[in-house]
Structure 1
C-alpha cells in the first residue's frame, strides 16, 4: 500500500512539473511573437503620453489655461525684445570694428610716413600720408562739455547742430529723422533758452553754452547765415576735446546712419554742392580766348564748392587751423561763411600766403544728396528714385520746411508723388 501511494504521488509531481514547463515554454513563445501583447494599442507611446497631457490640459481650469497663455506670450515678447537688442548690438559692434580697422590702417600709415626716413619703393607702390594724427585731448578747455560728450559720443564721434528758436519746426524734423534711423550720438547746441527747453521736452541731447557776450546776440537773433558762421567758433572746443564732429545744418533729413558711410582718412569729408559727376568731383574746364591765336585754349581745374552745412571734421591740427582761419576772417570781413570755408580749404600757397595743408574728401553725391540733385535729377529718373540716400540737404531751396516734409513722405512713408508738385528751383 505504501508503495502504491508513493508511485501516485510522484506521478502527480511529475504532471505539475510538466505543466509548469509547458507554461513557461508557451510564455516564451508568446513573448517572442507578440512583444507588445495580444491587445496592443494602435497609438504609439509618444502619442499616448500626449493624449494624457491633453486630458490634463482639458481637465485644468480656464483660469490656469489663460495664465499659461499669458506666460507664453510674455516669454515670446521677451525673446523678441532680446533679439532686437542683440541685432542692435551686432550693428554697433560691426560699426565699431569698421572704425577700429580704419584707425589701425591710418595709424600704420602714419607710423611709416612719420618714422625714420626710408627709400622710395618700386613704381606705383608709393603712397603719401593723407590721415593726419589727432591732437591730444585737453579737457581743461571745457570740463562741462567734456563730461556731456563722454555720455553722448560713440567712438569719439557725434553729429552736432546749432539751433535757435527761429528754426524750431525744421529742428523737430531733423531730430525726429535721426531718432527714427536709430542714431544715438547726436547733440543740439542750443543758442537760446527756448531751444534748450524744446529739446529737453523731446528727450533730445542738448548743450547750452556758458554766456558769451561776443556771440550771444548772434546766436539768439541771427538768421541762417549768421548762425552758420558762428559754428566755426563753437566747433573748435569739440575738436580740442578730441572728438570728430559731423557738423549738420537743421535743414537736413536723415534716412540712414551717416557714420556707416564715412572713410575717416582725411581732415575734412564734405558733401558737395555739385549736381553731377563733373561738378561734384572736378573737371578740366577749357577757357577759350581767340585773341591769343595758337595759345587760345587755357585749361582750368574746376570743382563746385563743398557745403559748409554738412561736413565731417577730425580733431587734427590742420582742422583746427581751418576753423581758426575761417572764424578769424568772418569776424573781420562781411563774407559768406561757405565761400570763406572753401577758399581756405582749396587756395594754394602763394607769395605772401601760406595755404592750408589739410586733406579733404568729397562725399558720394547720391548718398549725401543736396536738394538740387534730388529735385532736378533723381525724382525724374525711375532708376535713381529707387536709391535711398543717407541724408537729403535742402540747401538749394528757401521753402525748406515743406520740402523736408515731402522728403520724409517720399522716402519714409512711401508716397511716390510727394515730390512731384515742387518746381526744380525756387519760385
Structure 2
C-alpha cells in the first residue's frame, strides 16, 4: 500500500500543477478579453476627470476664460429662468380661464348633481325602502356687485338671509297699510317694500317701513308707476332676480295678504320653490287622479290624468338656487314677449315636463299647507262654516279670489285678531260680479 502511494504521488502532483497553470492562463485570457471590451466601450475610462477644464493657478488667460465661461453660463440660466417664468404665467392664465369656464359650466345643466358629487362621495344604493334622493339644490355664491346698494340694505334687515318682499305703487296704498300693520303686529322684522313710485317711498318712510327704491329704469318705471295688479305682478319676477343673486331667500308677498303668524316658522326650505295653492281642498291642492271618459274608444274609454290646481304667484318662498333664477328668467322673458297672465306662465314653467323641442325646468317644488297658508276661497266658502276649521289660526290669508279686497282684509283682521265672530258673515262666498 505504501509503495503504491509513493508511486502515485509524483504523478498526481504533476497533474495538479498542470491544472493550476491552465486555470491561470484561462483567467489571464479572460481578463485581457474583458479589458479589450471595456477599452472599446469606455475609451475615456470610468471616471472622467474635469481637471483639464480647470485653470491652473497663476495662469491669467485661463482665469479670464473661466470667468467668461461662468458669466455666459449665468446669462444662459437667467434666460432659461425668464422663459420658464413666462411659461408659468401663461399656464396660470390658462388655469384661471379653465377654472372660470368650469364654474360657468357647473351653473348650467346638472348643476346640483355635479356639486353634490364634488362635495360628497358617491355611495351605493341602500336596502329596499331606505333610499332617498337628494332634493335640495345648493345655493348660489352671493354676488354683491349686482347691486351694492340693495346688498347693504338687506344686510341690515334680513334674518338668516331671508326676507319678505312686496312690490307696491300708489294704486295699492290702502291695502299696503293693512299689510304692513299686521306684519308689525305679529312682530316680523325682516320685510321690505319695493317702492315703485315716489309716493310709496315717502309713505313707507313716514310709517317707518323698510323700503327700497330702484334706480331709474324707463321700462320698469312706466309699469311700476301706472301698471295695474297684473302688470306689477309680472314685473316682480325681474326685480326678484337681484335678491336671489345677492344670496337671499325671498318670501314674495302680494299686498292683499293679512299676516296672522310669522311665516318663517312654518317653512320647510327643502325645495327651490315653496308656494301656496289656489286649490280649495286636499284633492285640488295636493293633486288627484282625474279620469277622462271618452266612450268612442270602447274598451279604453277611461284615461287617467293627474291634476293639481295652480300655485299662487302672489305668495311663494324661493331659494337662491340656479333653478330658481332660471325660473325667474324664463317667466320674465315670456311675459316680455307674450300677452299672458304671469301666474299661468309661472306654473307652466314650473310643471311642464321636458318633451321634444322643450326642456323642462329641473326645480324642486313644495305645496304649502292649505289651512295655514289660506286663500280667500277656502276661507269664505269652507272654513267659516266649519266649526273645527274655524278654530284654526292660519299663518296668512290671501284675498286672491275676490275683487273687494280691502273690506275683506279688514274683516279678516276683525275676525281673527279682534275676535268678532260676525265679521265675515256679510260677504258672499264669491264675488258679486
Partner of residue 138 from structure 2, selected from 129, 133, 137: 133
Alignment of 1:268 onto 2:273:
yes
Query: Structure 1: which 5+ residue stretches go unaligned?
Result: 1-106
1:395 lines up with 2:400 in the alignment: yes
Q: Which residue of 2 aligns with 1:357?
A: 362
Instruction: Work out whether 1:206 is the aligned partner of 2:211.
Output: yes
Flag structure 2 segments of 5+ consecutive residues without an equivalent: 1-111
Partner of 2:201: 196
Q: Does the residue aligned with 1:322 lie in a helix, a strand or coil? A: helix
- In the alignment, which of 282, 285, 298 is matched to residue 290 of structure 2? 285
1:257, 1:117 → 2: CA distance?
A: 39
Partner of 1:309: 314
Distance 2:135 2:344 in 1: 24
| Counterparts of 1:376 and 1:417, CA distance in 2 | 15
Shift of 1:234: 0.1
Matched, 1:248 2:253: yes
- 2:381 corresponds in structure 1 to 376
Query: For residue 183 of structure 2, what is the aligned residue in structure 1?
Result: 178
Identify which of 320, 323, 330 aligns with 1:325.
330
CA distance in 2, matches of 1:221, 1:355: 34
Give the Cα separation in 2 of the matches to 1:326 and 1:122.
41
Deviations 1:25-80 (A, max 9, x none): xxxxxxxxxxxxxxxxxxxxxxxxxxxxxxxxxxxxxxxxxxxxxxxxxxxxxxxx
Any idea what SS the aligned residue of 2:402 has?
A: coil
Shift of 1:238: 0.1
Q: 2: CA distance between counterparts of 1:112 and 1:335? A: 39
TM-score by length of 2: 0.73
Aligned positions, number: 319
Shift, 1:295, TM fit:
0.2
- CA shift for structure 1 position 123: 0.5
Q: SS in structure 2 opposite 1:397?
A: coil
Q: Distance in 2 between matches of 1:353 and 1:123?
A: 34
> CA, structure 1 residues 254+113, in 2 after alignment: closer, same or farther (shift >3 Å)?
farther
What are the superposed Cα offsets for residues 56-113 of structure 1, whole Å, 9 maximum, x if unpaired?
Answer: xxxxxxxxxxxxxxxxxxxxxxxxxxxxxxxxxxxxxxxxxxxxxxxxxxx9xx8579
In 2: Cα distance, 1:373 partner to 1:278 partner: 13
Q: Deviations over 1:340-394 (max 9, x none)?
A: 0000000000001100000000000000000000000000111111000000000
Question: 2:401 aligned with 1:413, yes or no?
Answer: no
* Higher Cα radius of gyration: 2
Give a deviation string over 1:97-147, Cα, whole Å, max 9, x none: xxxxxxxxxx9xx85796333211111111111100000000000000000
- Relative to the length of structure 1, the TM-score reads 0.74
Larger CA deviation: 211-220 vs 305-314: 211-220
Secondary structure of 1:247's aligned partner: strand
Tell me the SS of whatever aligns to 1:125.
coil
> Residue 391 of structure 2 aligns with which residue?
386
Say if 1:113 and 1:128, in contact at 8 Å, map to a contact too. no
Aligned to 1:423: 428
Shift of 1:315: 0.1
Residues 267, 358 of structure 1: 8 Å contact kept: yes
Correspondence for 1:230: 235
- In the other structure, the counterpart of 1:298 is 303
Alpha-carbon contact 1:196-1:206 (below 8 Å) kept: yes
Q: 4+ runs of 1 displaced by more than 3 Å?
A: 110-114
What's the secondary structure of 2:408's corresponding residue?
helix
Three-state SS of the structure 2 residue aligned to 1:398 is coil
